[in-house]
Structure 1
Amino acid sequence: MKNTTACTDRDWASYVNTNIGTLSYKTWSTSPTVQLPHGMMEVDPVTTPGIGDKYLADKIYGFSFGPATVTASSRPLSDRRKEHASTFDHDLEETRPFKYRVFLEDHEIDAEMTTAQRSAYFRLHSAGTAHVIVDGGETTQVHKHDGRVVEGERTNQGYVCYFSLEMKEAASSFGVIENSSKLYFTYDPQQKEETIEFKVGISYISLEQARKNRQQELPDWDFEAAVFRARDAWNRALSAIEVEGGTEEERTIFYTAMYRTLQRMRNITEDGQYYSGFDGKVHSTEGRDFYTHDQLWDTYRCARPLQSIIEPRVFEDMVYSLVRMYEQGGLLPKFPHPGGDHAVMIGHHAASLIADACAKGLDDIQLEKAFEGMLKDATEMSLIPWRTVPATELDQVYYEKGWFPALPVREDAKVADPDAWRKNLWNLVMEKMPNQITWVPEVGVDEWVTEVDSWHRRQSVSVTLERAYDDWCVAQVARKLGRDKEAELFLQRAGNYRHLFRPDLGLMAPKTAEGEWVEPFDPKLSGGFAGEGYFAEVNSWIYTFHVQHDVEGLIRLMGGREAFVQKLDALFTEQYTMEKPWFLGQFPDMSGLIGMYAHGNEPSFHIPYLYNYAGAPWKTQRRVRDIQYLMYHDGPAGLCGDDDIGSLSSWYVFSAMGFYPVCPGRPVYDIGSPIFEKTTLHVGEGRTFVIEARNVSKGNKYIQSALLNGQPYSRPWISHQDLMNGGRLVLEMGPRPNKAWGSAPEDAPPSMTSL
């Protein structure tokens, strides 16, 4: 049963500003996308090529609806795209999830657009001659083109997307622009109304289905009615969480972050059927919607866990979709999309979503079949980053010894005194500036395993740590199924992180297949570009804390609670060895830096909450509140890194409410520091869970005391069942920390070691 929401009369969608994040600190900016929650249809402005930050683009080249781009122009027809581009002014732009509007200055055309689930509606206002140009590129085949309709298909990444576009009125003229594949409709001012309207439907199944999607979802020529329906859909989705208090900026950030999270995964069900890129066939949904388009390395941490609360049956169908992908393609996916899967990043984190669904009772997912896929990943498939290949000699080391091996050190790279080398590192760095961006020389021998990607390399420490977490997830599902032998095996493997902890450094470090520590090794700078000889995009300081499933075990490795807190404190203050721009030249994904903590990259997300495990919840409260204020804003530069389809955004949603899922697969949430006076979660069947933060303000960030359903509460965590049963958590907030609250060892959140 899907969640019901108690209130849709509030216009939550009006808080959403889709331009947040369109000026990026890193690689990819967001886009002011018009889309329904989990919609198959997305419409985006296509801006100046080469300008990655969409907000800084000077021109709009058209509007993408997936298989093609439509452009509105008043200039003479030309096969050159830039001839039809137009400057625009953000002050004359409307950016909402249900509607995008912009004035194309060079053409004197006002363009508006909205979407339905698999279709889009465009309206243009122009007093003069106007062309509507449809450009699908060289891979597009056109099946029909007359004065009102254009239909075709485009092949991309091995799958086909069909489209059916219909104009409200017949064009004055139409055809193909000379020397191009671009189609056009021309409207003369004497032969048209002041507005030009058209609708388009898409399908992954057939051209007939694309036409049907358009006709069913947009049955009449009423643009405002289509906008109303889209707005209503967003208000219903966003009203799953109602917040009171906070500032206007905080509410804008919050609901925009919810919007980003609810864009994915995309529901590609069409009339009870869906196309699967995993076997190239059309299947019946059998009453369960089919979802795809995800980035599991990014989203398993908090985006999907958020959906398990606010839309649990949608989340369950998403996980079931992953299992169907396994049935159809033979493997659980990593980065699924309509055409199949991409071998991106590291880990087999479908295991996390399956374990999380299982732990939360959302296990109508063919659990035995899901477990079969998890076992195949864990015992037959390689851990090599950015590859989907059978296990290699490197994986045998993991199976037999418990770690993924780093390259052995070259003889000419060895040093007599590694400690002295580390102490002298600053001088080594200064000798090399400004001639290169990898400041610490690579020390490994040449790679001999042909399956290893030459750019992304082995990432041996990160691979070991993330596989240990995935192994823990496998163990949880095995236990649920009564598979005790497998549960015991994978619980043992879940402790493999211990093999890479170097006591002398107090940090995780690479080890060769022979069991030798890689030396020389610097925990901040070793690993080459992006650290990827040993780490995934970041360094040892961050990955040392990537033991989500066994924080207590990590605490013991570090020598106890006090030593653990000291190491966490050091993470947030440790500096770069060189100037920050040079450091970021080697680690461009480590944005949102606070010391070595990099909030702009996913492996950092859970770390501020780890103080809860070591008797210092007040430090979690301080850190998460600082991050909320430092790293999130309501302008174009409002995100400190790549959002990665809602990952960075969902961290904010959780943390602004006051809790966070440190370990997906374990149905508990760590308590942080809420920013709203009252947060109401609608959790189904009329039940609500309310978080009331009394006396909260920017300065009053520390929990003084707590009540759960009227009873004194001292744990810095709550269970998923607490939330879903409904109830009230009251937090009394103040300006100074209550260092005793939540500090008792018996109150710490559960870990593998302590269970």
Structure 2
Amino acid sequence: PLVHLPNSMLRVFPMKQDQLDDQINFFPLNNVSHRTEFVFSFLPLKGNRNDTFWGKRVTVLTEQTTPYYYQAEDEDSGMTIEFAPSAKSGIFEVDFKTTKDNYLRIGLNGGSGNVQSDNHHVITGVEDITGMKAYFYAETDQDLDQLIYQNNNDKKRLLARFNKAIKVKLKYGISYISVAQAKINLYTEIPNWDFNQIKQKAKHIWEQQLSQITLKGGTEAQKRTFYTSLYRTYERMVDINEYGQYYSAYDHQIHKSDKPFFVDNWIWDLYIAQEPLHTILNPKMQLEKINSYITMYKQSGWMPSFALATGDWPAMTGNHAASWFADSWAKGLRDFDVKTAYEGLKKNSVAGTLLPWRNGPPTAIDSFYNEKGYLYSTRPEERGSKDGVDMDKWWEGRGNEGVSITLENSVCDWAIAQLATPAGYPQDKPLFLKRAGWWKNVYNQEEGFVWPKDKAGNWIKPYNTKLLGREYVTENNSYTYNWTPKHDLKGLFQMMGGTKKAEAKLDQLYREDLSVPKFHFWLNQPDASGLVGQFVMGNEPSYHIPYLYNYTGSPWKTQKRIRMLLDTWFPDNVFGIPGDEDGGGTTSFVVFSMLGFFPVTPGIPEYSIGSPVFSEASIKLPSGKVFTVKALNNAKENVYIQSATLNGKPLLKPVFTHSDLLKGGVLQFKMGARPNKLWGAAI
């Protein structure tokens, strides 16, 4: 778990193999981008210095983790390490217990650069990361007695020895501009040595943030799951404006600005639930994030995909900044340059490559897509090169994801179509609506599944809809990707043979076995975690699927599935996330679903109703209004909605609008242990 302030540049955690590991290798002084890059390393050590000291770890006896404070006790020496964060700076306090053999080990985290010291109490560093540099400026409250470098020539790691003090504090600032700016960041945020003051300030900020949603009812475990999930949604994006200026990796320039500059968004993971959640909770920040994306487009010439601090990382599939922007626009967020945003999104779609893990102009494969309306796949024996593009060098062998690329870009092009008229390009809307229907070109009606198609337009056979995954779709199989066209559910159900047949396929999704030993399945599908039949709770493409029963006339099945999934896969312990959490992607699903609703289609400003976990949940909206969800007679077994009202008026449909939410008021359900199969059944 990260220790940080909400959506702030500095993010710190103990580097271990995993959360069950009892040894800390070091603390990165900053997590630059979620799960991908960390800078500098820091670790207090105690003991006789020898050659193994440079690789020594702290073995944890006790540990306390909160969003605003971290503490660990060393099993061997009793030494304690504490940390508290500010926005671009942090402070450690180390209690060595005695004055003998006390060290701080500080260095780089694998990049080139160096760390320096004035031999008294100041330590600075610079480290190269992907395409840019990171800097730190640190001070200790005690003079160091000795400075030892691991290598005096490269000065990448040092030991600072303190033999006159039992307690030592180290405070530091981080910058992507300079050491001098790192010092400014530190002195602006932590001018003194009051550790408890920084800790309490961080605690207050988190209490204010998390108390925007208040709960009644439910168990203590459910509340822990909810608030832990909510906390995780604030990891990203982060503002890297450093008090009036910021470094942008999108044009490699330092810019003067009084506006936030947000980075670190894995949009494939976050457009589904995390961004919609914060559209409710903090629309002002959402606009600042969108405007940051538009600025990146102006600086680089391309609308980013995964907008990291180090530049665009064109990971995964789709052009989902379009999904995010269209959803925000539909929900009334208008204070951004929609014309420029649209031009960037359109350029990505029709004048750039759609291939995952690549940026830049289109390839011959993209030209085929634009002409034929699907991205073709190759047979296993044909792997290696496709129209001059080397497939095998793509990340995880994903170069053949023709099915998911076609499906997800259909969703994104529909979103672009929604922005065409507001942007002043109404003539473009028919083109993008046409492209939005291209998902049908990879749906094999005879087989009832999305299916890879070759260059000649033939379905590739044999094809295993369960086992084959990364060869043709992204991180999942056809059982999951069958439900991707959430912008055209009516069309999807028709392709499946009608609403009732679509519902039967939904039922079977949760019941279908693997047909192979689990080790064989997961060898091919490592991201397909949290399995219920073929349903994958641990990966983002599945999150809207349980809510689709609301569109087949059986919302009681949504209620049944949602409560089962929450109870099964999200307990209040270290096993409480069934897959990659992705910096708020998964836990935003949890927050929405525990509240009792979820946004199914980005660009349609409505919420699909599930089964609320708490007897009462209130959202304090930025306008000052309050939207409350009440569940009368709620209990573990009472998962089914018997009736519903919105502000006292009967609600007969399993959906309500974003406008309803913004007006404030009360959405009230009467719950029961048996389904009311008539409520919400009218499609």
Partner residue of 1:262?
234
Do the aligned partners of residues 333 and 81 (structure 1) sit closer, same or farther apart at CA in structure 2, a change above 3 Å counting? farther
Equivalenced residue count is 666
Match of 2:410 among 457, 468, 483: 468
Partner residue of 2:331?
360
Match of 1:696 among 634, 657, 679: 634
Q: Provide runs of 4+ in structure 1 moved above 6 Å.
A: none
Query: 2:359 aligned with 1:378, yes or no?
Result: no
Partner residue of 1:567?
505
| 1:246–1:675 contact (8 Å) kept in structure 2 | yes
Partner residue of 2:13?
44
| Map 1:199-278 → 2, pairs under 5 A | 199-278=171-250
Partner residue of 1:399?
370
Distance in 2 (CA, whole Å) between partners of 1:228 and 1:58 is: 27
SS for the counterpart of 1:231 is helix
SS for the counterpart of 2:421 is helix
| 2:119–2:146 contact (8 Å) kept in structure 1 | no
Match of 1:580 among 497, 501, 518: 518
| Map 1:77-476 → 2, pairs under 5 A | 77-78=49-50, 80=52, 83-89=55-61, 92-128=62-98, 129=100, 130-137=102-109, 139-142=112-115, 144-177=117-150, 181-188=156-163, 191-192=164-165, 194-285=166-257, 287-407=258-378, 409=379, 442=380, 444=382, 446-454=384-392, 455-476=397-418
| Map 1:63-74 → 2, pairs under 5 A | 63-66=27-30, 67-74=39-46
| Map 1:582-621 → 2, pairs under 5 A | 582-621=520-559
Distance in 1 (CA, whole Å) between partners of 2:384 and 2:559 is: 46
Partner residue of 1:57?
21
Task: Say what the alpha-carbon RMSD is for the aligned residues.
Answer: 1.5
- Single out whichever of 158-167 and 336-345 deviates more from structure 2: 336-345
Query: 2:442 aligned with 1:500, yes or no?
Result: yes
Distance in 2 (CA, whole Å) between partners of 1:196 and 1:384 is: 51
| Residues 331-374 of structure 1: CA deviation (Å, up to 9, x unaligned) | 11111211111121111111111112211221222111101101
- The one-letter amino acid of 1:70's match is F
Distance in 2 (CA, whole Å) between partners of 1:390 and 1:629 is: 46
Q: 1:230: Cα distance to partner?
A: 0.4
Q: 1:83: Cα distance to partner?
A: 4.8
- The one-letter amino acid of 2:83's match is M
Distance in 1 (CA, whole Å) between partners of 2:115 and 2:442 is: 57
Do the aligned partners of residues 568 and 155 (structure 1) sit closer, same or farther apart at CA in structure 2, a change above 3 Å counting? same
| 1:86–1:107 contact (8 Å) kept in structure 2 | no
| Residues 493-536 of structure 1: CA deviation (Å, up to 9, x unaligned) | 1111112221211111111222111122221123xxxx122100
SS for the counterpart of 1:707 is strand
Q: 1:446: Cα distance to partner?
A: 4.8
Distance in 1 (CA, whole Å) between partners of 2:232 and 2:113 is: 30
Partner residue of 1:647?
585
Do the aligned partners of residues 69 and 79 (structure 1) sit closer, same or farther apart at CA in structure 2, a change above 3 Å counting? farther
| Residues 294-319 of structure 1: CA deviation (Å, up to 9, x unaligned) | 11111111111111111111111111
Partner residue of 2:648?
710
- The one-letter amino acid of 2:409's match is R
Distance in 1 (CA, whole Å) between partners of 2:651 and 2:325 is: 31
- The one-letter amino acid of 1:185's match is A
| Residues 191-238 of structure 1: CA deviation (Å, up to 9, x unaligned) | 22x321110100111211100111110111111111000001111111
| Residues 254-294 of structure 1: CA deviation (Å, up to 9, x unaligned) | 11111111111111111122111000111133x43111011
Do the aligned partners of residues 473 and 259 (structure 1) sit closer, same or farther apart at CA in structure 2, a change above 3 Å counting? same
Distance in 2 (CA, whole Å) between partners of 1:81 and 1:295 is: 37
Distance in 2 (CA, whole Å) between partners of 1:226 and 1:445 is: 56
Q: 1:398: Cα distance to partner?
A: 2.0
SS for the counterpart of 2:26 is strand
Partner residue of 1:540?
478
Query: So what's the TM-score if we normalise by structure 1?
Result: 0.86
Match of 1:510 among 449, 452, 473: 452
Partner residue of 1:736?
674
The higher relative CO (CA closer than 8 Å, separation ≥ 6) is in 1
- Single out whichever of 735-744 and 500-509 deviates more from structure 2: 500-509
Q: 1:244: Cα distance to partner?
A: 1.3
- The one-letter amino acid of 2:649's match is Q
Partner residue of 2:467?
525
Do the aligned partners of residues 78 and 259 (structure 1) sit closer, same or farther apart at CA in structure 2, a change above 3 Å counting? farther
Unaligned segments of structure 2, at least 5 residues: 31-38
| 2:383–2:391 contact (8 Å) kept in structure 1 | no
Q: 1:34: Cα distance to partner?
A: 0.7
Distance in 2 (CA, whole Å) between partners of 1:622 and 1:222 is: 51
| 1:147–1:185 contact (8 Å) kept in structure 2 | no
Distance in 1 (CA, whole Å) between partners of 2:175 and 2:402 is: 41
Distance in 2 (CA, whole Å) between partners of 1:514 and 1:612 is: 38
Q: 1:678: Cα distance to partner?
A: 0.6
SS for the counterpart of 2:231 is helix
Distance in 2 (CA, whole Å) between partners of 1:359 and 1:160 is: 38
SS for the counterpart of 1:581 is helix
SS for the counterpart of 1:345 is coil
Distance in 1 (CA, whole Å) between partners of 2:244 and 2:485 is: 41
